[in-house]
A and B are shown apart, each in its own frame.
Chain A
Amino acid sequence: MSDAPILEFKNVSKTYNKITKALSDVSFSLEEGEFVSIIGPSGSGKSTILRCINRLVDATEGSIIFDGHDISRADKREIHQVRKKTGMIFQHYNLVNRLSVIENVLHGRLGHKSTLSGVVGLYTEKEKERAFEILEKLGLTEQAYKRCDELSGGQKQRVGIARSIMQEPRLILCDEPIASLDPSSSKVIMDHLSNINQTMNITCLINLHQVQVALKYSRRIIGITSGQIVYDGPPETLTQDIIYEIYQSKEGELITDVG
């Protein structure tokens, strides 16, 4: 089974408002269980790639194959199926701040439930047990009944991770998961993501601004500049010159040059 890629981009292009070109002719594929980082300057199309996969954004051209189905022209029901199977983690956590941690984690089950039981928030005992198990794994047991706006940034992002695991996804999309966090919480988050990838065999696709973090954690890096892939390979062959090409800059102009 593992020889068929879980996700395949074939010549995908995306143009916003018929003017702004976000992606042009992007092609790559992900194997099941991979941990891939996408790096590139702001506005280069990293977020657009992730959002095309769970159809928060519709690709203009090309096809996206997820788990054997072409989802680029999927109807409402198929989109629902794709979203059920993909978790998403956001830079600003995107939790319902006025609800408790456990309620936010259980939101991950909404896609699997009937509309009515989701509306009234009726979860099975099994789902609740699972939610607490996940919270324990992420070290949030004590916070379970706290309201999300009482948490720190790192804790909020762990709730975000818990919510996406709750979906039992095949793929987790992370959009700048550590961009608003301090270095120590960033490490905690990246360690958890890496751990999830290895122990649960969930494929991870992560947008990152921190090149060092991408080099350390991922086994494959995709570099993207103005909507085009300029590098796709292991971290070992990502030379300084390629990094300069990705960020369209010269030596001494990047913060990574300082160290």
Chain B
Amino acid sequence: MLDKLFKISPRAWRAWLSIQSRLNKGNSQPEKPQQKEKQTSIFTKRKRVFTLVFIVVATLYLVSSAAAEFNLIDGLESFPKAFIWITTYLVPDEKSLSNLPAILAKLSETVFVAIAVTVCAALCAFFFSLLGTTTTKTNPWLARMVRVVAAFFRNVPDVVWAMLLLFSFGQNVLTGFFALFFATFGLLTRTFIETIDEVSADCVEALNATGATTLQIVFQGIIPSVLSVIISWILYMIETNIRASTLIGILTATGIGYQFDMYYKMMNYASASLVVIAIVVVVIAIEITSTRIRKVIM
């Protein structure tokens, strides 16, 4: 089937070319050279743009790898060694299995913190986004303020939040909680504002015209319109936060991240690998569940 297609295509192409040339002959003569010139100029222009983009990307790579003292070939060469190391040391053994209950306890702690953070942040973000949206026409200055605050929280990464909060809260669950809370809150506020503006602007206008009050519009118009999109975002953020909380746990000495860090530094690689496997299994399981839920509600 496929090679038939390939066999035909050059022949078809030649036929097409001959039709083209015949048509061109039929055209009025003085127009032709001008048209050709215009066509070539478009193609050379495109070629030039491609060459330029290629040169810029190549220069960026060379300059930045020189600055970071990174060598691609060295990096690739170390791959097989790393693979061998992983397969020899990072394999759970019988002894490490006795640590499984402790690992699962820590993992579930991390997962529940991530879920709690996301739900709290989503609730706050929703009320905040109602103030930030232009559809409800609350107050343009307040709306701008909300957007600025949300942008600030969003643009500081969760790991940086964790570092900052370490000073005030020290190494405990609260630090990780707030670090994830701020980052999630910022992102969700902005997303919710966009969703509300996009999905419910029309029906808000209509409900406004019937004389409904702002609270009635929120509950009868906005919430029903955006609920499924918002739930879908919350599920997505739960997934992201489970991954992020693993990393933040290393910083704040809590949860599964810390467990991994400890085993790793004690050179108990078998147990560390068990942690990795447990995380992967849980993350995949949660992703599958949330994809199913999203399919149902959309």
What 0/1 readout, one digit per residue, does chain B (199-223) give for beta carbons within 8 Å of chain A?
0101101111111110110111100
B178-216: which have CB < 8 Å to A?
200, 202-203, 205-213, 215-216
* Contacting residues, chain B, for A103 (C-beta < 8 A): 220
Q: How far is the CB of B283 from chain A (nearest CB, A)?
A: 31
For chain B, the bracket of interface size reads 20 to 34
User: A200 within 8 Å of B by Cβ?
Assistant: no
Q: Which of A21-29, A34-42, A112-120, A245-253 contacts B (4 or more CB under 8 A)?
A: A112-120
Q: How far is the CB of B206 from chain A (nearest CB, A)?
A: 4
User: A69 within 8 Å of B by Cβ?
Assistant: no
Contact B225 A97 (CB under 8 A): yes
Contact A118 B224 (CB under 8 A): no
Distance in angstroms between the alpha carbons of A88 and B208 in the assembled complex = 10
Distance in angstroms between the alpha carbons of A119 and B207 in the assembled complex = 12
* Contacting residues, chain A, for B207 (C-beta < 8 A): 96, 107, 110
A119: contacting residue among B202, B210, B215, B228, CB under 8 A: B215
A87-132: which have CB < 8 Å to B?
87-88, 90, 92-99, 103, 107-108, 110-113, 115, 118-121
Contact A96 B216 (CB under 8 A): no
* Contacting residues, chain B, for A56 (C-beta < 8 A): 205, 208-209
Q: Decide yes or no: A118 and B209 within 8 Å by CB, A99-B224, A107-B220, A110-B220 being known contacts.
A: no
Q: Which of A78-86, A205-213, A218-226 contacts B (4 or more CB under 8 A)?
A: A78-86
Q: Decide yes or no: A121 and B211 within 8 Å by CB, A90-B206, A98-B225 being known contacts.
A: no
Contact B211 A83 (CB under 8 A): yes
Q: How far is the CB of B260 from chain A (nearest CB, A)?
A: 43
Contact B216 A83 (CB under 8 A): no
* Contacting residues, chain A, for B221 (C-beta < 8 A): 96, 107
Distance in angstroms between the alpha carbons of A96 and B208 in the assembled complex = 13
* Contacting residues, chain A, for B218 (C-beta < 8 A): 119
* Contacting residues, chain A, for B206 (C-beta < 8 A): 88, 90, 94-95, 107, 160, 163
Distance in angstroms between the alpha carbons of A120 and B219 in the assembled complex = 7
Distance in angstroms between the alpha carbons of A118 and B211 in the assembled complex = 11
Contact B211 A96 (CB under 8 A): no
Q: Decide yes or no: A54 and B216 within 8 Å by CB, A95-B203, A96-B225, A99-B224 being known contacts.
A: no
User: A155 within 8 Å of B by Cβ?
Assistant: no
* Contacting residues, chain B, for A119 (C-beta < 8 A): 215-216, 218-220
Contact B203 A110 (CB under 8 A): no
Q: In this complex, what residue of B is CB-closest to A120?
A: B219
Q: In this complex, what residue of A is CB-closest to B210?
A: A111
User: A167 within 8 Å of B by Cβ?
Assistant: yes
* Contacting residues, chain B, for A83 (C-beta < 8 A): 208-211
Q: In this complex, what residue of B is CB-closest to A110?
A: B212
Q: How many residues of A contact B (CB 8 A)?
A: 36
* Residue in A83, A97, A107, A120 with the greatest tally of chain B CB atoms within 10 Å: A107
User: B284 within 8 Å of A by Cβ?
Assistant: no
* Residue in A81, A94, A108 with the greatest tally of chain B CB atoms within 10 Å: A94
Q: How far is the CB of A50 from chain B (nearest CB, A)?
A: 10
User: B288 within 8 Å of A by Cβ?
Assistant: no
Distance in angstroms between the alpha carbons of A155 and B205 in the assembled complex = 20
Distance in angstroms between the alpha carbons of A86 and B210 in the assembled complex = 7
Contact B216 A115 (CB under 8 A): yes
* Contacting residues, chain B, for A167 (C-beta < 8 A): 210-211
Contact B205 A110 (CB under 8 A): no
Q: How far is the CB of B196 from chain A (nearest CB, A)?
A: 13
B212: contacting residue among A97, A98, A111, A160, CB under 8 A: A111
Q: Decide yes or no: A118 and B202 within 8 Å by CB, A107-B207, A167-B210 being known contacts.
A: no
Q: In this complex, what residue of A is CB-closest to B137?
A: A56
Contact B224 A98 (CB under 8 A): yes
What 0/1 readout, one digit per residue, does chain A (45-56) give for beta carbons within 8 Å of chain B?
000000000101
* Contacting residues, chain B, for A92 (C-beta < 8 A): 202
B101-150: which have CB < 8 Å to A?
none
What 0/1 readout, one digit per residue, does chain A (144-188) give for beta carbons within 8 Å of chain B?
000000000000000010011001000001000000000000000
User: B49 within 8 Å of A by Cβ?
Assistant: no
Contact A107 B211 (CB under 8 A): no
Q: How far is the CB of A119 from chain B (nearest CB, A)?
A: 4
User: B227 within 8 Å of A by Cβ?
Assistant: yes
* Contacting residues, chain B, for A54 (C-beta < 8 A): 209
Distance in angstroms between the alpha carbons of A81 and B208 in the assembled complex = 12
Contact A94 B228 (CB under 8 A): no
* Contacting residues, chain B, for A94 (C-beta < 8 A): 202-203, 205-206
Contact B210 A96 (CB under 8 A): no
Q: Which residues of B contact A (CB under 8 A)?
A: 200, 202-203, 205-213, 215-216, 218-221, 224-225, 227-228
**9 A-B pairs, CB-CB below 8 angstroms?**
A82-B211, A86-B209, A96-B207, A107-B207, A108-B210, A110-B212, A111-B212, A119-B218, A167-B210
Q: Which residues of A contact B (CB under 8 A)?
A: 54, 56, 80-84, 86-88, 90, 92-99, 103, 107-108, 110-113, 115, 118-121, 160, 163-164, 167, 173
Nearest first, the 5 closest Cβ-Cβ pairs linking A and B are A111-B211, A83-B211, A94-B206, A110-B212, A118-B216
